[in-house]
Structure 1
Amino acid sequence: MSEPVSRSRFSPELIVVSGCLIALITFGPRASAGLFQIPMTVEFGWGRDVFGLAIAVQNLLWGLGQPFAGAVADRFGAFRVLCVGAILYALGLVVMAYATTPGLLHLGAGVLVGFGLSGCSFNLVLGAFGKLLPESWRPMAFGAGTAAGSFGQFLFPPLGNALIESLGWHQALVVFAASVLLVMPLAVALATRPAAKAGQGGPAPVPGQSIGQALSEAFRHRSYVLLVLGFFTCGFQLAFITVHLPAYLRDAGLSAAVGGWTLAVIGLANAFGSLTSGWLSTRMSKRWLLAWIYFGRAVAIAAFILLPASPVTSIAFGIAIGLLWLSTVPPTSSLVMLMFGTRYMAMLYGFAFFSHQVGGFLGVWLGGILYEAYGNYTFVWWLSIALGIASALINLPIQEKPVERPVGLQPAE
């Protein structure tokens, strides 16, 4: 027995296109954060640890706010959450643009952008896809939404470099803020009905299951806990590379353009990697797919830091790591939906994403702290490799099946 998907007056094609555009727009400015590190630290005389802490707070609060944003979207519909998130995100970029103290930088780039992302990023899009799209559309739609975010990373860093050079970094951030507001009209197509109960392709739903009961069920489920723990590494690696790779390449004597184009190549390659991952998620074991992705990242990072830095090795690394960048998202979100259905998918995926963002916080923060302490990023690179291998192993014991719910089970009073 399963519940029907939430009905929408929009076609599946329009829902997917609108969701993909939202993912593209919201991922772009956040993926370009590393371009602003050196201009800001040079102008105000801050250490890289100051900028790194702001982006670390952003990652942590993005993850902390995600389960709550997902729960509100599950209960009251996605449209309002997406709009509020877009407003907070845009406001945070404006505050960042005019920040003259570390406190204002942390408020804008950290607090406001972080909570804004929790309400309007691709995670909310994937939750809406799970509720609005037919079951046959979902795996590829998850891949397409993730790929669209990656394409935003391809478009925005070169645009950011051009805006910084022509308008200055302050105005570049204002332009990014204006672009984020485009999320609001696009969100109309992703409006889900309040308390919609979507649930094809998962276990039989528990009648009247509360949020607390859903969380208790999830965190008693060993495979879900392993999935959440493994996702930590994804955030650690991605956030560290996004924020500190441009500075790492500058330290190696390469131009700012190389850093921008490397981030862009990561985004372009990730578009292909995410689509491929969505396709593979329907054709092979999801846990093995995740294991190979994490192991592949460890190999790519090791090769990159052991070879002399050059434009060629940087772009090659961008292609290799880009193919594996967000390719973890389709199998991870598909496993959450397989285990628990779609009724509380946005919230439960949100808790997995919180683990991802705790990793992101530590990746960015440790990158800045250890750079100031030792003058290089060597330790963090090797830590990223070790975590990649650990996550590959953590995902292997996951059981790919719905949580057991006896027929007619009623929730506890």
Structure 2
Amino acid sequence: MSAASSRLSGALVATLVAASFISLMSFGVRAAFGLFTAPLPPDLGITREAYSLAIAVQNLCWGVTQPFAGHLTDRFGARRVMLVGALLYLAGILGLMVSGTALHVLLSAGVLVGVGMGGASFSTALAALGRVMPESHRSWALGVGTAAGSLGQFVIVPLVQACIDLGAHWSAGAGCMAAGIASILVAAWFVREVPAAGGAAAVPAASARTVLGGAFAHRSYVWLVLGFFVCGFQLAFITTHFPAYLGDLGVSASLSSWAVAMIGLFNVLGAYLAGTLGGRWGKKPLLVWIYLVRGALIAGFVLLPVSTATVLGFGAGMGLLWLSTVPLTSGLVATFFGTRYMGMLFGIAFFSHQVGSFLGVSLAGAVYQRTGSYDAMWWGCVALSLLAAVANLPVREQPAERFLRLAGAR
């Protein structure tokens, strides 16, 4: 990022670094909850379905909270939103460490962590970057911020697994996660609050009702939001159940954690390339191809025999496609509506993503509990990939002029 970042002011570089670190830490910690799917339930005397429900609620609370966090970010800046979110996120992890029942797990890992993630997550970090970065650097910066989240998955997941192995208990990994979230409280202070010069802050703000009404009247936004639902369904299912799925097939916990880490490592490249190429080749066609290739990759993984090569290869392939939808989707939101209301409007898109996440995690837990297999979920992900590709075909990659006149969002 050196060539591009050298043309940014020191304050913007500091914001990019801080927001990327927050994206790295929050997403990396969030990805590690899947490591508890097998060891935590028997330790607490609860079912895997109950833990899956807690993580599903986490995703749903994250999604419900995100539009409100985005609205507060648009009005008051990202720093305070990130600080409050990090405190709630930290409280949820600490609460999980002392949980004794399924209800405690639901309230801590589910509700508290989910609400905290609404404020301290890569979504808020991307909204902050989208608001302050000049248009010439925006797509690139969104790619960097998203890639940082992927790097967090590569770094944090094996680190948490190492802590679990060292402490011989899942709570040792949770302690490692709590320390990581605490570091966000420091990084948030370096996030710039003022939008880029000449940005949308120069005109009076429209009401939230006006903004949302104008956005949902734009059909390309509606199609984009529907497609993002599929992304959430697939990613949350794989993040939460992939280690347990591999364990059921006899794959070691160490290899499983490295497979998840490979997703993170290769998504550093995938997300960065998506952000960079989206500014050159167009965001819509890239989204269509990402969903199509993702479906083909999942089908190939299910059909091939499980081995070290196929497990790590699947992790690498999914990594290239993992969060690559995020800079493209958030970039399209900025293309449609400008950056003034980006926090709230990307938050709405992300809510759709998290509704998909809720269904992906909870449905997988229910399917496994009743059939003892995840096969139906894998093939459902393949079918949804095709639907997401079709949903993005009608998207028109151009400003929503009617909305811009109505809400004064230029």
Q: TM class by shorter-chain length?
A: over 0.9
Alpha-carbon spacing, 1:407–1:260, altered in 2? closer, same or farther (3 Å): closer
SS at match of 2:99: coil
CA contact (8 A) 1:243 1:364 kept: yes
Alpha-carbon spacing, 1:399–1:44, altered in 2? closer, same or farther (3 Å): same
Stretches of structure 2 that go unaligned for 5 or more consecutive residues are 1-7
- 1:62 maps to a residue whose letter is W
1 CA distance for matches of 2:407 and 2:391?
33
- 1:225 maps to a residue whose letter is V
SS at match of 2:280: coil
Partner of 2:341: 344
| 1:186 CA displacement | 1.1
Cα deviations by residue, 1:75-111 (Å, 9 ceiling, x for unpaired): 1111110000000001101111111100000011100
Cα deviations by residue, 1:302-350 (Å, 9 ceiling, x for unpaired): 0000111111110000011110000001110110001000110010000
- 1:217 maps to a residue whose letter is G
Superposed counterparts of 1:282-297, under 5 Å: 282-297=279-294
| 1:16 CA displacement | 0.9
Partner of 1:220: 217
Partner of 1:358: 355
Of 223, 236, 245, the residue aligned with 1:239 is 236
Alpha-carbon spacing, 1:135–1:301, altered in 2? closer, same or farther (3 Å): same
Matched, 1:279 2:276: yes
- 2:67 maps to a residue whose letter is P
2 CA distance for matches of 1:97 and 1:156?
18
Of 369, 372, 377, the residue aligned with 1:375 is 372
| 1:205 CA displacement | 8.9
Partner of 1:386: 383
Matched, 1:71 2:71: yes
| 1:175 CA displacement | 2.3
Alpha-carbon spacing, 1:339–1:38, altered in 2? closer, same or farther (3 Å): same
Partner of 1:26: 26
Tell me which moved more, 58-67 or 165-174.
Answer: 165-174
- 2:285 maps to a residue whose letter is W
Partner of 1:92: 92
CA contact (8 A) 2:139 2:279 kept: yes
2 CA distance for matches of 1:31 and 1:208?
36
Identity %: 49
| 1:409 CA displacement | 5.6
Matched, 1:183 2:184: yes
Alpha-carbon spacing, 1:407–1:161, altered in 2? closer, same or farther (3 Å): closer
- 1:233 maps to a residue whose letter is V
2 CA distance for matches of 1:205 and 1:330?
25
CA contact (8 A) 1:236 1:356 kept: yes
Cα deviations by residue, 1:257-287 (Å, 9 ceiling, x for unpaired): 1110000000000000000001111111211
2 CA distance for matches of 1:107 and 1:198?
42
Alpha-carbon spacing, 1:220–1:308, altered in 2? closer, same or farther (3 Å): same
Alpha-carbon spacing, 1:162–1:401, altered in 2? closer, same or farther (3 Å): same
Partner of 2:263: 266
Matched, 1:316 2:313: yes
Equivalent pairs counted in the alignment come to: 400
Matched, 1:60 2:57: no
- 1:402 maps to a residue whose letter is P
Alpha-carbon spacing, 1:72–1:249, altered in 2? closer, same or farther (3 Å): same
| 1:207 CA displacement | 4.9
State the superposition RMSD in angstroms: 1.9
2 CA distance for matches of 1:123 and 1:334?
12
Partner of 1:331: 328
- 1:182 maps to a residue whose letter is S
Cα deviations by residue, 1:113-153 (Å, 9 ceiling, x for unpaired): 00010001011111111222222121111000000000000
TM-score (norm 2): 0.94
CA contact (8 A) 1:206 1:405 kept: no
2 CA distance for matches of 1:240 and 1:163?
24
| 1:42 CA displacement | 2.1
SS at match of 2:401: coil
Alpha-carbon spacing, 1:307–1:399, altered in 2? closer, same or farther (3 Å): same
Superposed counterparts of 1:302-313, under 5 Å: 302-313=299-310
2 CA distance for matches of 1:335 and 1:289?
12
| 1:199 CA displacement | 6.7
| 1:189 CA displacement | 2.0
Cα deviations by residue, 1:164-205 (Å, 9 ceiling, x for unpaired): 011221132122112211112211221414xx68775x9x99
Partner of 1:116: 116
Partner of 1:39: 39
Cα deviations by residue, 1:350-380 (Å, 9 ceiling, x for unpaired): 0000000000000000110000100100111
Partner of 2:13: 13
SS at match of 1:282: helix
| 1:407 CA displacement | 8.8
CA contact (8 A) 1:270 1:326 kept: yes
More helix, by proportion: 2
2 CA distance for matches of 1:332 and 1:249?
31
| 1:406 CA displacement | 8.7
TM-score (norm 1): 0.93
| 1:29 CA displacement | 1.2
SS at match of 1:32: helix
| 1:410 CA displacement | 7.8
2 CA distance for matches of 1:138 and 1:270?
19
CA contact (8 A) 1:61 1:111 kept: yes
| 1:208 CA displacement | 3.9
| 1:55 CA displacement | 0.4
